[in-house]
């Protein structure tokens, strides 16, 4: 599987969002972080932003829902234009049923785990998902430090995917930069959410290419 770069626009200059997204057009996806102020202690944005992003880019939208009651809200993010909708395992009432609903709507279904959530319960259900997101920081804020003790879960998911020859992406999210990306890659990640390391660079378009080079 080719490694994918999914820039998180959380820490971009949102007053110039269309320009920021244009700058990362050589990436593979746009990662949109939805936070509700309950599941995480921060509030970001919702359906209208996903619709707006869909209106200014051809890149697939990868929506990361850090919200309570994803069973109720996640389908709206497919309708809004997301290609991938990732919800948290900890927050969902019926995660398998929700993943099936998202797929039935034509989207890819992702499941995310906080750093402290064990991976074992999802290993029996990997066929139900297109993407597993292993959080490499506590969800809620961009610009945090990468937690290397989460990489054991990346290895465990990747091993299970390989053993069963499944087509499931392993995404890491949080604190990924030019240094930490090597550890995540070695552990088996193949989809890299990169936020502040891209958007704090002098030229994010050049930085995307630098990450592409590292992953090649």
CA–CA separation, 21 vs 44, rounded Å? Answer: 17
**Cβ-Cβ contacts under 8 Å for 24 (sequence gap 6 or more):** 7, 30, 59, 198, 204, 205, 208
CA–CA separation, 5 vs 208, rounded Å? Answer: 8
158 binds, among Fe ion, ligand 5RP, none (CB under 5 to 8 A by kind): none
CA–CA separation, 148 vs 73, rounded Å? Answer: 31
Q: Per the annotation, does 64 bind a ligand?
A: yes
Task: By CB under 5 A, tell whether 33 contacts Fe ion.
Answer: yes
195 binds, among ligand 5RP, Fe ion, none (CB under 5 to 8 A by kind): ligand 5RP
Among 20, 28, 33, 130, binds ligand 5RP (CB under 6 A): 33
Please state the φ and ψ torsions of residue 56, each to the nearest 5 degrees: -120, 5
Stretch of 52-60, 79-87, 98-106, 194-202 lying at the interface with ligand 5RP (CB under 6 A): 194-202
Compare residues 168 and 184 and give the one whose CB is closer to ligand 5RP.
184
What's the min distance (Å) between Cβ of 31 and Fe ion? 6
For residues 61 and 53, the answer to whether their CB atoms sit within 8 Å is yes
Q: Per the annotation, does 196 bind a ligand?
A: yes
For residues 64 and 46, the answer to whether their CB atoms sit within 8 Å is no
For residues 4 and 28, the answer to whether their CB atoms sit within 8 Å is yes
142 binds, among ligand 5RP, Fe ion, none (CB under 5 to 8 A by kind): ligand 5RP
- Strand 169-173, strand 191-194: pairing: parallel
- Which member of 62, 130, 173, 190 is catalytic? 173
**Cβ-Cβ contacts under 8 Å for 13 (sequence gap 6 or more):** 19, 20, 199
CA–CA separation, 199 vs 216, rounded Å? Answer: 21
Footprint of Fe ion on 129-168 (CB under 5 A): none
Among 3, 10, 54, 80, binds ligand 5RP (CB under 6 A): 10
Q: Per the annotation, does 6 bind a ligand?
A: no
Active site residue 76: no
Active site residue 130: no
- Residues acting as catalytic residues: 33, 173
Question: Residues annotated in the binding site, as ranges?
Answer: 8, 31, 33, 64, 140-143, 173-175, 195-196
Give residues in contact with ligand 5RP (CB under 6 A).
Answer: 8, 10-11, 31, 33, 64, 66, 137, 139-144, 173-176, 193-197
């Amino acid at each position: 599987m080719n490694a994918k770069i999914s820039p998180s626009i959380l820490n971009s200059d949102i007053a110039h969002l269309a320009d920021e997204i244009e700058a990362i057009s050589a990436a593979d996806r746009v990662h949109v972080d939805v936070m509700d102020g309950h599941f995480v202690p921060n509030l970001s944005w919702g359906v209208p932003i996903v619709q707006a992003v869909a209106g200014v880019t051809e890149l697939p939208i990868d929506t990361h829902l850090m919200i309570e009651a994803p069973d109720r809200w996640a389908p709206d993010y497919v309708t809004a234009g997301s290609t991938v909708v990732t919800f948290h395992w900890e927050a969902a009432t019926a995660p398998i049923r929700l993943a099936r609903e998202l797929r039935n709507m034509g989207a890819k279904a992702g499941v995310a785990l906080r750093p402290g959530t064990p991976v074992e319960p999802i290993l029996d259900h990997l066929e139900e998902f297109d993407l597993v997101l292993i959080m490499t920081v506590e969800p809620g804020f961009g610009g945090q430090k990468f937690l290397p003790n989460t990489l054991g879960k990346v290895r465990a998911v990747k091993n299970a995917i390989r053993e069963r020859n499944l087509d499931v992406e392993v995404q890491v999210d949080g604190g990924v930069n030019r240094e930490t990306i090597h550890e995540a890659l070695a552990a088996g990640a193949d989809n890299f959410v990169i936020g502040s390391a891209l958007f704090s660079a002098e030229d994010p378009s050049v930085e995307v290419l630098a990450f592409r080079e590292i992953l090649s």
